[in-house]
Structure 1
């Protein structure tokens, strides 16, 4: 089945981009974004380093696991995370890179310092650079969404300034004795928007409004971008967070690893999520009358998926 999700380019005029992204996110919760401005050579270096890290011996990788850290930084071992409402742990392992804050920053209480593997030269420089580029691309997308929502183009700038964003290096090993588990069980993302590199291999699917699983398979180098629960809540589900999964491959594909790099763009921890007045009317009453901070929302969800 071919994906019906149209691709957009970040080089398009902003009004056109806002309209196309808004319609795609409203219908599917997803969009495919090309010409995003992230250097292909940087992406290639990052992909190579990700593969090299996950190829390290298990005992070496586990040196970078932070017990009690909620998976916020460093390594999270295979079969740790569990989708909300499921009893089988996902068939994946991952590494998290977060924001590097200046010493003494008051937001440091919400964001742990990064750790870096000693075994791979250039790892820190590469992924700090990629983190910055993901933020730039995400900022352009948020400006388009602000226009779509009838807000000032820079409305989201302050909400994500020093946001608790996380870049995840993902490895789904070859399938062995799945025992009913899948690479990523159906779930919605927690954050504001997710920008995903490496989704060109079949497996990522979204659940449509009609209850059908639709493939999300962007061309190589393009981003699959989706709405997270925080932004869905802020917009009273006008921009909707869509359930999605990474299904297990069959045949030869089951014997291969799958790699990807999602960037979970988050609001600032102290940003208060309360429904935008422009997204409430008689036909769409406020579904989320209770406000809460982005940090509190994140803490609730991390407990639900087994990371805290």
Structure 2
């Protein structure tokens, strides 16, 4: 695990999306088709906002255990607030992940039609700057995600605004992840091999080594983005929607080498979800004689999410 070769995922600039949207769409789609992953520089999220978010994240996870657990909702599926260390488990894994996390979701006005499916946010008393920073960061991730989805639509031969109807008031989640220092005899890894549930994941913090993808030949490859770049990967919902034209690639976060085991690892994935009532129905353009429809029965995003949360132990049957 310590000498894993690097994946040759090209770094793309989101600035190119504005200059030449078709060329950017082709490059992004090609990276997704080959790896299920892309590396995006110039993503538009301000560096000072990201630095403030890291500071708030570190302060949050340094709170006393009892205080953090006061923000945990038993039976809530980890939808909002705090999820304690060693709670989530990768599908099919035997050991739980060595991580704790906090979820921030979309703020909905009172009486919103999705209020029953999308829980209200839980905000900690401390750190004091937590709420305004992460409301701002959530919006910035949303904007970057919309631009990437527009490029994906172009690559698939759809109208550039095709995903607008899917993600308007979408059930996206910003996850603040803390992987604590690892003891020598730790059972399991920081995050077991898994695929994401959503449409796409936008990740900050992958500069710290550990993230690996499973290549199509069965070998693990390390993801090593340039400083400040964002790692983006296809989720299972988009894989299903595209009949596997865009693959949801298995990935993991391995334990660090001995000299880094005493160091915490932090990351911030933004899981971009469609609205709960969006029907995940295979795109006709992704079906042909050589690629029959793998998913003839459509499913709503809400029902699909529930199925997967049960599989990873965040929701009980």
TM range (shorter): over 0.9
Shift of 1:162: 0.4
- Counterparts of 2:6 and 2:288, CA distance in 1: 36
- Counterparts of 1:112 and 1:38, CA distance in 2: 26
Shift of 1:43: 0.2
Counterpart in the other structure of 1:111: 118
Structure 1 unaligned blocks of 5 or more: none
- Counterparts of 2:206 and 2:185, CA distance in 1: 21
Shift of 1:178: 4.9
Q: Which runs of 4+ in 1 moved over 4 A?
A: none
- Counterparts of 2:224 and 2:301, CA distance in 1: 30
Which of 105, 109, 125 is residue 132 of structure 2 equivalent to?
125
Give the TM-score of the pair, scaled to structure 1.
Answer: 0.99
Counterpart in the other structure of 1:62: 69
Counterpart in the other structure of 1:85: 92
Which of 52, 58, 61 is residue 51 of structure 1 equivalent to?
58
- Counterparts of 1:227 and 1:147, CA distance in 2: 16
Which of 175, 184, 188 is residue 181 of structure 1 equivalent to?
188
Matched, 1:269 2:273: no
SS at match of 1:209: coil
Shift of 1:217: 1.5
SS at match of 2:266: strand
Deviations 1:191-242 (A, max 9, x none): 0000000000111000011111111121121100000000000000001100
SS at match of 2:248: coil
Shift of 1:179: 4.2
Matched, 1:11 2:12: no
Shift of 1:2: 3.1
Matched, 1:142 2:146: no
Q: CA RMSD in A?
A: 0.8
Counterpart in the other structure of 1:292: 299
- Counterparts of 2:292 and 2:7, CA distance in 1: 32
Matched, 1:281 2:288: yes
Counterpart in the other structure of 2:250: 243
Counterpart in the other structure of 2:241: 234
Shift of the 178–113 alpha-carbon distance from structure 1 to 2, 3 Å rule, reads farther
Shift of 1:3: 2.8
Which of 156, 163, 167 is residue 156 of structure 1 equivalent to?
163
Structure 2 unaligned blocks of 5 or more: none
Matched, 1:32 2:39: yes
Matched, 1:96 2:100: no
Shift of 1:24: 0.4
SS at match of 2:192: strand
Shift of 1:290: 1.2
Counterpart in the other structure of 1:305: 312
Shift of 1:16: 1.1
SS at match of 1:109: coil
Matched, 1:73 2:80: yes
Shift of 1:79: 0.2
- Counterparts of 1:34 and 1:178, CA distance in 2: 37
- Counterparts of 2:236 and 2:254, CA distance in 1: 21
- Counterparts of 1:298 and 1:276, CA distance in 2: 19
- Counterparts of 2:49 and 2:105, CA distance in 1: 18
Shift of 1:278: 0.2
Which of 207, 216, 221 is residue 209 of structure 1 equivalent to?
216
- Counterparts of 1:260 and 1:19, CA distance in 2: 28
